[in-house]
């Protein structure tokens, strides 16, 4: 018999795992700025990639990953992506680059409109700055458009953001999660006439996505896509599992050094850990921005299932 708690899993999955990068899900300029602004106040840490501390490119990479777009790790590597944009044609979400070291591109931020950008500065942490100040105006290098944020959807502008580097023999994709959930639910997957424009009838995901769509589990993105080849992060999986298994806080409280109580994933990770579904990465961190591996997916689902 189908368990009721599994039915809402992909409603949350499609909202938050869309932040898993590949074909980006719907995201507006307002959503981009809201995502970026929630990290204001996070301190600058050289090499930092978590909410305990972020360097400039760690910040931009984290924000974009939350919106379904994968970008390179360093500012100079990010500068090699996307399409060049003139300063007069900047749009919200464009990456803006600066030479703060005297040796070329060494700093990056995200344009948020009105000649302002949000970035993680060495002396300020994550904050909003004006591009018009003499310091930033004289160090400006250029801008790149990795994705276009509109009131309708996020559209990729370069093939370079399509996660060619993601090894899906190691990491979990949406398609794989669909297959595993269809198996757990015991649904009939014989109908391969998928409602998603990017899942053809001969795709191995067609039966699972069609069956789960008919159950009201999948809704797709604003363009009617399922995005089977997108990975998801550990933060996104925390939300999926908490909502899917209707997990609640227990008396066991676990703290992770890289999870801020101001972060959107805080409550989900706290609940997941309190139930023993996750124990973190063994060094006191949770690693929310890391992609979920297939092994972790299996372990998480098994542990959560055993709680019911």
Instruction: Please state, in angstroms and as integers, the Cα–Cα distance from residue 132 to each residue in 65, 89, 94, 117, 268, following that order.
Output: 28, 15, 17, 10, 40
Q: Which two tokens stand for residue 271?
A: 């609940």
DSSP states of 46-91 as a string? TT-EETTEE-HHHHHHHHHHHTT----SSHHHHHTSSEEE-GGG--
Whether 119 is catalytic: yes
Q: What radius of gyration, in Å, describes the C-alpha atoms of the chain?
A: 20
Neighbours of 51 (CB within 10 A): 28
Specify whether 255 is catalytic: no
- Token code pair at residue 149: 């944020």
Q: Residue 240 phi/psi, 5° resolution? A: -60, -50
Count CA atoms closer than 13 A to 238's CA, side-chain side: 28
What 3-state DSSP class applies to 125? strand
Catalytic residue among 22, 107, 255, 298: 107
φ, ψ of residue 137 in degrees (nearest 5): -60, -40
Helices (H), the chain: 9-16, 29-37, 56-66, 75-79, 134-137, 174-185, 206-214, 234-244, 266-274, 294-305
The DSSP output letter for 42 is P
Are β-strands 83-85 and 140-145 bridged in parallel, bridged antiparallel, or unpaired? antiparallel
- Exactly one of 22, 119, 255, 298 is catalytic; name it: 119
Catalytically annotated residues:
56, 107, 119
């Amino acid at each position: 018999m189908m368990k009721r708690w599994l039915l809402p899993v992909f409603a949350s999955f499609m909202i938050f795992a869309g932040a898993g990068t590949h074909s980006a899900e719907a995201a507006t300029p307002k959503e981009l700025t809201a995502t970026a602004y929630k990290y204001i106040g996070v301190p600058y840490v050289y090499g930092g990639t978590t909410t305990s501390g972020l360097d400039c490119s760690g910040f931009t990479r984290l924000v974009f990953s939350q919106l379904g777009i994968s970008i390179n790790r360093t500012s100079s590597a990010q500068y090699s992506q996307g399409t060049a944009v003139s300063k007069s044609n900047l749009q919200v979400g464009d990456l803006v680059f600066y030479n703060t070291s005297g040796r070329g591109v060494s700093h990056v931020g995200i344009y948020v409109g009105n000649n302002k950008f949000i970035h993680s500065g060495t002396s300020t942490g994550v904050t909003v700055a004006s591009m018009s100040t003499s310091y930033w105006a004289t160090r400006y290098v250029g801008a790149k458009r990795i994705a276009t944020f509109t009131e309708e959807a996020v559209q990729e502008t370069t093939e370079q953001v399509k996660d060619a580097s993601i090894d899906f023999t190691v990491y979990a994709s949406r398609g794989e999660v669909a297959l595993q959930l269809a198996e757990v639910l015991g649904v009939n997957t014989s109908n391969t006439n998928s409602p998603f424009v990017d899942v053809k009838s001969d795709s191995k995901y067609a039966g699972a996505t069609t069956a789960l769509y008919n159950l009201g589990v999948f809704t797709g993105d604003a363009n009617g896509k399922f995005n089977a080849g997108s990975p998801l992060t550990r933060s996104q999986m925390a939300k999926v599992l908490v909502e899917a298994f209707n997990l609640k806080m227990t008396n066991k409280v676990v703290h992770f050094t890289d999870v801020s109580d101001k972060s959107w994933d805080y409550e989900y990770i706290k609940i997941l850990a309190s139930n023993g579904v996750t124990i973190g990465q063994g060094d006191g961190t949770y690693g929310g921005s890391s992609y979920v591996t297939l092994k972790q997916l299996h372990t998480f689902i098994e542990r959560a299932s055993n709680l019911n």
